[in-house]
Structure 1
Amino acid sequence: MSKVTIIDMQPITPAVGGGRQRLLGLYHALGPDMHATYVGTYDWRGEAPRDQMLTPNLREVLVPLSEAHHASAEALADRMEGRVMIDIAFADQVHLSPAFLDVARRHIEEADIVVFSHPWAYPALREAVDRRQLLVYDSHNVESVLRLSLHEDLPQAAQLLRRAVECELQLCRDADLIVACSHEDRETFARIYEVPWSKLRIAVNGIFSFAVGATGPDEKRRAREELGLGDRPVVVFLGSDYGPNNAAAAYIADELAAAVPRADYALIGSCCQALDGRSRSNVRLLGVLGEEDKRRWMRAADVAVNPLDAGSGTSIKMFDFMSASLPVVTTPIGARGIVSPGEPPFVACAMADIPRTLNGLLDDAGRRASIGEKARKVVEDFYSWERISPDLGRLLQKFLSQRQREKPRFSVVVPTYERHHLLDALAACLEAQEEKDFEVIVVDQSRERWPGADAAYGFDLHYVKSEVKGAVHARNTGGRLATGACIAYTDDDCEPTPQWLANAGKWLADPTVVGVEGLVRSEHVGDPEWRAVTNVGFEGVGFMTANLFVKNDVFQRLDGFDLSFDNPHFREDTDFGWRMQTEGGVPYAADVEVFHPAHRRDIERESQAERNRFFEKDALLLSKHPERYRQLFLAEAHFLNTAGFWDHLARGAEKYRVSLPAWLDEYKAS
């Protein structure tokens, strides 16, 4: 059992507000072999100490601050024109609350993993952390940037802001692992604090989606009856009293409701307060609702809108809408940071196009149902605390296991699905490697656990059983768990030569090289009854994850593979290889070899017709790399010898909203 101590200066419960919801979501279920204790406090007077179990594996311990601490914080607020600064002043005032420090030190001493969920308490408790422990910074924001944006207009706050930077910088330098909410935050940490990319990871924000089931026709009908709604379509918006939300609510009440009068609009949350009671006959200002009433309106609605024209980070309300199986019309700002496999699970458009887009959705019940179903699936797979928390637990355990030993030279990542017998053969090839300094991470999406997962090998095996399907997601899962200096990708049906890793290491010793494309050898080349899997003749053009190396820091800096290329997965390796080339050299190495067996075409998923539909993804690749795609297009010449290529490309262009360039017309005519 690994013990985790999390330190912060707020309570978790009641879990209101983004910060507390994140704390509860992240740590409520790290894993059956992990026990988390959260040590926090209150930033107001009058509360009693608290010690309670929030979940079977999450304990909340709260220690009130002293009267002297509160008095000092109030005096500071007076000097700051009434602005509350108790958080960023915590490092220099917490000595006034010795009881909090005593409890925090005791729980730190008992822990294997110590997490600071803001940097404010770290300076006062830094000496309590033993270097045998894994030290983690769980960042809710890049605090120095956020606090500067909030208080740079206040000259007397300059010293306090410098202190905030010092606290965060110190924690960033000392931490073994930094967990950010977004890739954009990771980029900021790397840029302003020069944090090595190899210790930056992401734990996205989410919601508890499994607590409430998806909304079907029966649930929708009952909700509408309970609310006394008629047959008119209902459009819902949810927002707190926050500038961008207030502006969105005003847009709905003042413009959208008039532009699309056929619908009724339900506005939920404290954003209603900013409208001063003004509304149209088809706009209801519902204000702050309890959870059950809010869910009832979500179930009753036909469409959600998120017309944000400003703001930062991920709009969490999108997950509320998507979890309720609602199709969402949103601006790109409203959908920022939400990634998904395949077609987006919402409709994003410019603010000026919202009325037309909303009308189109209201006219198409089938499309609404399709988008809503996909939206629910995306939230369940990628934005549910029920999945995010165990994923974080796995990451913490992985970094803890590596804390006591030297990091390996290679992390070999293998995604697998229903081919356990091939994994056994691959394991034998890996045991035969001349290079011995490596770990193996297997991400298994099969129904059953791989029997070989518990066997003893000549290498460290980290086995991940994933309920989320998709090869791109599996490769990213392995890459984010990897602690090796370089990540080596291969497939579960490949057979690397004994020199595979050793020879790759020679190429990667060049500091200008960021990755290596190895030789993929196959059989039955040219036989129409078989699909040969080889990159011979396409060196440096397409890239294949059957044999691809990338330095760990580069993988993290590129944010891994683009999930849009999943479902079905195709071209994600090409996209990644091209992006990798912008970071440095990626030589083709014929001496870094794996054998990939050919696949029979009479297997459904390997048939020509099934594989050809994958060319929908070419539209995505074209949109991201227009010049490079033209080279690939001519080199592969699928437009000449692949039946249905143009139809699939056009379908992809429509699905991903890509404008096909005029130069394609010349080849289409041929």
Structure 2
Amino acid sequence: MSGDRPFFSVIIPTLNEERYLPKLLKCLEGQLDRSFEVVVVDGKSEDKTVEKAQGLEVIISEKRNVSWQRNLGAKRARGKYLVFLDADVEVPANYLSEIHHYLLVNKDCRVMTTWMRPDSNNDSDKAMVLLMNLIVEVAKMAEKPVVGGYNIVIRKSVFENVGGFNPKIKIGEDYDLISRLAKVGETMQILRRVRATLSLRRYRHEGTLTYLRQAAVGTLSFWLKGPITRELFDYPMGGEIYRSRRKSGKGKLVASVKKYLTRLNGWLQI
């Protein structure tokens, strides 16, 4: 999408994402900032994902591993900054332009993310994503930075200096990356005036309690014990897993959690 050397390289790891990838690509086509390229790294999808990315640079990965795929994309990338987005994320038209402006004004910023918004207007969904945003903020203040791998911007030279993502990590490869960056003095900045849209398909598929439990267990395990190199719970990659019947989410406890999230949303007046 840019003939000369681009400022950004948008790297998208995929596996059976024919339903979601086109939405993200349409968002990227509408970007106000045109200094970017798109690199899709596919893990040998069994659907039409690669076909949906026709006309773009597509790398076929021999391994179905999100870290491995992101690293492959980074190696091929020509941009000064790498933008890692998951296939089910959507971004507004000013996403790259706002980030570009921020980086030009704040020349010492080499790692950043943005706040997120949910993919629905449901109050409990809005509260869930708000909590995620606040956790990122609080973790940064506590000098225990966390960030979602679905929305990371990092200078390519910095990414290479720390060795990129660790493919051996089962869960929390994004936490591990940002932790290693912090250890070498890189401070993650958070842009709040532009927000990417986070798909809550895993949250809906797994059910509220399972999703919250996995998030808590994964985060605490990383903070207390470091990189997670064994399976704590099933956390598969691939869009096809969300085509199966979703969990009902019934039960008093689930209902009470959702009710709490809805109240939280109203209290904070999102």
Fold similarity call, TM over 0.5: yes
Alpha-carbon distance in 1 for matches of 2:69, 2:223? 20
User: For 1:145-294, what aligned pairs fall within 5 Å after superposition?
Assistant: none
**Cα 1:583–1:480, aligned 2, differ >3 Å: closer, same or farther?**
farther
Amino acid in structure 1 at the alignment position of 2:108:
T
Identity %: 23
**What is the CA RMSD across the aligned residues, in angstroms?**
3.1
Higher relative contact order at CA 8 Å, sep ≥6: structure 1 or structure 2? 2
Mapped contact 1:533–1:596 kept (Cα < 8 A): no
User: For 1:348-367, what aligned pairs fall within 5 Å after superposition?
Assistant: none
**In the TM superposition, what is the alpha-carbon distance from 1:480 to its structure 2 partner?**
2.1
Partner of 2:136: 539
Amino acid in structure 1 at the alignment position of 2:196:
V
Q: Taking structure 1 as the reference length, what is the TM-score of the superposition? A: 0.29
Partner of 2:52: 452
**In the TM superposition, what is the alpha-carbon distance from 1:612 to its structure 2 partner?**
3.9
**Cα 1:434–1:553, aligned 2, differ >3 Å: closer, same or farther?**
same
Counterpart selection for 1:420 from 12, 18, 35: 18
**Cα 1:593–1:444, aligned 2, differ >3 Å: closer, same or farther?**
same
Alpha-carbon distance in 1 for matches of 2:115, 2:203? 23
Mapped contact 2:42–2:61 kept (Cα < 8 A): yes
Partner of 1:514: 110
User: For 1:522-537, what aligned pairs fall within 5 Å after superposition?
Assistant: 522=118, 523=120, 524=122, 526=124, 535-537=132-134
Partner of 2:245: none
SS in 2 for 1:420: coil
Mapped contact 2:9–2:77 kept (Cα < 8 A): yes
Alpha-carbon distance in 1 for matches of 2:72, 2:191? 26
Q: Taking structure 2 as the reference length, what is the TM-score of the superposition? A: 0.68
**Cα 1:481–1:612, aligned 2, differ >3 Å: closer, same or farther?**
farther
- After superposition, give the CA deviation of every residue in 1:526-576 in whole Å (9 maximum; x if it has no partner): 36xx9759732123422112221000000000111122323xxx3221222
Alpha-carbon distance in 2 for matches of 1:575, 1:525? 31
Partner of 2:198: 596
SS in 1 for 2:149: coil
Partner of 1:280: none
Partner of 2:57: 462
Mapped contact 1:516–1:549 kept (Cα < 8 A): yes
Alpha-carbon distance in 2 for matches of 1:552, 1:621? 26
**Cα 1:623–1:521, aligned 2, differ >3 Å: closer, same or farther?**
same
SS in 2 for 1:517: strand
SS in 2 for 1:538: helix
Partner of 1:17: none
Amino acid in structure 2 at the alignment position of 1:436:
R
Amino acid in structure 1 at the alignment position of 2:16:
E
**In the TM superposition, what is the alpha-carbon distance from 1:595 to its structure 2 partner?**
0.8
1:440 aligns with 2:35: no
SS in 2 for 1:535: helix
Mapped contact 2:110–2:158 kept (Cα < 8 A): yes
Alpha-carbon distance in 2 for matches of 1:420, 1:591? 30
**Cα 1:415–1:607, aligned 2, differ >3 Å: closer, same or farther?**
farther
- After superposition, give the CA deviation of every residue in 1:75-130 in whole Å (9 maximum; x if it has no partner): xxxxxxxxxxxxxxxxxxxxxxxxxxxxxxxxxxxxxxxxxxxxxxxxxxxxxxxx
Alpha-carbon distance in 1 for matches of 2:199, 2:131? 9
Alpha-carbon distance in 1 for matches of 2:64, 2:205? 20
Alpha-carbon distance in 2 for matches of 1:452, 1:496? 18
User: For 1:387-402, what aligned pairs fall within 5 Å after superposition?
Assistant: none
Counterpart selection for 2:178 from 553, 577, 600: 577
**Cα 1:463–1:621, aligned 2, differ >3 Å: closer, same or farther?**
farther
**Cα 1:494–1:535, aligned 2, differ >3 Å: closer, same or farther?**
same
**In the TM superposition, what is the alpha-carbon distance from 1:607 to its structure 2 partner?**
6.7
1:407 aligns with 2:5: yes
Mapped contact 1:493–1:597 kept (Cα < 8 A): yes
**In the TM superposition, what is the alpha-carbon distance from 1:610 to its structure 2 partner?**
7.0
SS in 2 for 1:544: coil
Partner of 1:501: 96
SS in 2 for 1:469: coil
**Cα 1:617–1:553, aligned 2, differ >3 Å: closer, same or farther?**
same
Unaligned runs of 5+ in 2: 140-145, 228-252, 255-270
**In the TM superposition, what is the alpha-carbon distance from 1:477 to its structure 2 partner?**
1.8
**Cα 1:526–1:501, aligned 2, differ >3 Å: closer, same or farther?**
same
**Cα 1:602–1:518, aligned 2, differ >3 Å: closer, same or farther?**
closer
**In the TM superposition, what is the alpha-carbon distance from 1:518 to its structure 2 partner?**
0.8
Alpha-carbon distance in 2 for matches of 1:575, 1:592? 25
Mapped contact 2:116–2:197 kept (Cα < 8 A): yes
Larger Rg: 1
